[in-house]
Amino acid sequence: MIFNTRRRFITGICLFISLFSSTTISASSKLESELVALPLRSLNFNLSNVDIQKIKNVFEAVRKFGEEQNFAVRIAQTEPDMHYIAELWRHDLHIIVTNPFTPSGFSFALYLTFPHSVQNQLLDEVVDAFRSAISQLPNIKWVPAR
């Protein structure tokens, strides 16, 4: 009788520990995936009097910025008309620049390449360098953050 009670007690503790540890693991995995999925910084800008050459100039400026900041750069057309995407990545950061909804409306999103800590100063420097590179183009208007 004592043996059965002790066995039930130990089984209950083991079950409790296994449930608690799996909940903790899934919660930390969820937190890490949320950190990767949410942009750390974002910007929006518009290009007035849009035409295909001006859009190509924007993405050429994005390419130049990426090379100066030691990012690998990939630019591709996403729609048959004037929609493009640029992906820039390096060991610590991943950037996406695109004009997904209208040819004249661009978005910039800065992500972590993988969950790790990055100093805010580094993030601010990258965003400032991007803003500076794009601001050199004519007809650019920055959209305030919401």
Q: What is the pLDDT of residues 72-98, one digit of tens each?
A: 999 999 988 899 999 999 999 999 999
Amino acid at the residue 14? C
46 and 65 both lie in a single domain: yes
Kindly state the average pLDDT of the residues 60-78.
97
The pLDDT of residue 137 is above 50: yes
CATH of the domain at 76: 3.30.160.110
Q: Note the pTM of the prediction, 2 decimals.
A: 0.74
Residue matched to tokens 């059965």:
4
136 and 66 both lie in a single domain: yes
The pLDDT of residue 120 is above 50: yes
Residue range of the domain that includes 62: 38-143
43 and 100 both lie in a single domain: yes
Tell me which residue of 25, 30, 37, 29 sits closest to 113, measured CA to CA. Answer: 37
The pLDDT of residue 24 is above 80: no
pLDDT of 127 = 97
How far apart CA 13 and CA 24 sit, in angstroms, is 16
61 and 20 both lie in a single domain: no
The total of structural domains in the chain comes to 2
